[in-house]
Structure 1
Amino acid sequence: MSPITYITRTESFSAAHRLHSTQLTDEENKVLYGKCNHPHFHGHNYKVEITLKGEVNPLTGMVMNLVDLKECIRLAVMEPLDHRNLDLDVEFFQKKPSTTENLAVFIWWNFQLHFLQNESWRSNSARLYKVKVHETERNIVEYMGEGELDESDSPLKLALINLKGCP
């Protein structure tokens, strides 16, 4: 067995959002989310860290080519999220609050979806280990794939179920 290492790539993106739950009243949202519930949204310069875990390939000396990791992050994170309004532009957040916790979950599952679609990325030993999202310098969320997507996430969930049948 080859050594196991963890590789991480960091990217930054800007996005707007409004913390608001459709399951709460407007007054409850104002009390819970305060100024982050402003009806005209607010924005962040997010930093995301994607960490993969895998065996070092004895031929290449890599877990995964970082050029490939960069491309997967472009497809899974940058294209759908950079310079977007999370609540208006990303279907995932039209059914749930665009908290950093939910953002980390979205990034995990969307990364998995793109990663599994590319046969050459799937063929190495690399596996997604952790998604870490910095909303601010002081507010950071980590997600490691625990738990399941719920029924409201069905388009993403169905795509993943279909892909898991891939060799």
Structure 2
Amino acid sequence: MIYITRRESFNAAHKLARPDWSEDENTAVFGKCANPNWHGHNYQLFVTVKGEVNPETGFLVDLKWLKQVINKHVIDKVDHKNLNLDVDFMKGKLASTENLAIAIWDILAPHVGESGAQLHCIKIYETDNNYVEYFG
């Protein structure tokens, strides 16, 4: 089994707040991330796939193809967007990095599977110090 990772970047705004809570309750739980005027991050997305190397190509997957899949189904939808308001696959979800990683997994797993590989991990750096890893 071999693993290969593709990194992509995107910039997005979001707010962590539950609509059924007061502003004070949201601030108590989510701190500055509950700012009513939103805030943004320069996210780094790492998509790791696993499987066996194709003896004809020497590839697990064609990274150009993987880049296109990630961009079409994720980056084009989130880059320079508001995760809470503009992103269809985040509608009705708290826009945490954890929930974002799960949503991206759910979107990419079937596409990666079509290649004969398996999705292994979604890793998202929200900041230099904070990241989430999701293994499905």
**TM-score class normalised by the smaller sequence:** over 0.9
Does 2:30 correspond to 1:16? no
1:102 aligns with 2:99: yes
Name the counterpart of 1:74. Answer: 71
Stretches of structure 2 that go unaligned for 5 or more consecutive residues are: none
Per the alignment, residue 126 of structure 1 pairs with 117
* Higher share of residues assigned helix: 1
TM-score by length of 2: 0.93
Aligned counterpart for 1:137 among listed residues 119, 128, 134: 128
Aligned partner of 2:60 among 60, 63, 75: 63
- Partner of 1:50 in structure 2? 47
Partner Cα distance (1:142, 1:98) in 2: 16
**Alignment partners' CA distance in 2, 1:27 and 1:91:** 28
Aligned residues: 136
Question: What RMSD in Å do the two structures reach over aligned CA positions?
Answer: 1.4
Report which stretch shifted further, 94-103 or 78-87. 94-103
**Residue type of the alignment partner of 1:53:** K
Amino acid at match of 2:77: P
Inter-partner Cα distance in structure 2 for 1:91 and 1:77? 10
Instruction: State the structure with bigger RCO (CA 8 A, min sep 6), 1 or 2.
Output: 2
Alpha-carbon shift at residue 102 of structure 1 (Å)? 0.6
8 Å Cα contact 1:22/1:96 also seen in 2: no
Task: Assess if the C-alpha contact under 8 Å between 1:21 and 1:96 holds in 2.
Answer: no
5+ residue gaps, structure 1, are 146-167
Structure 1 stretches of at least 4 aligned residues deviating more than 6 Å after TM superposition: none
The one-letter code sitting in structure 2 at the alignment partner of 1:85 is N
Deviations 1:31-51 (A, max 9, x none): 011111111100000000000
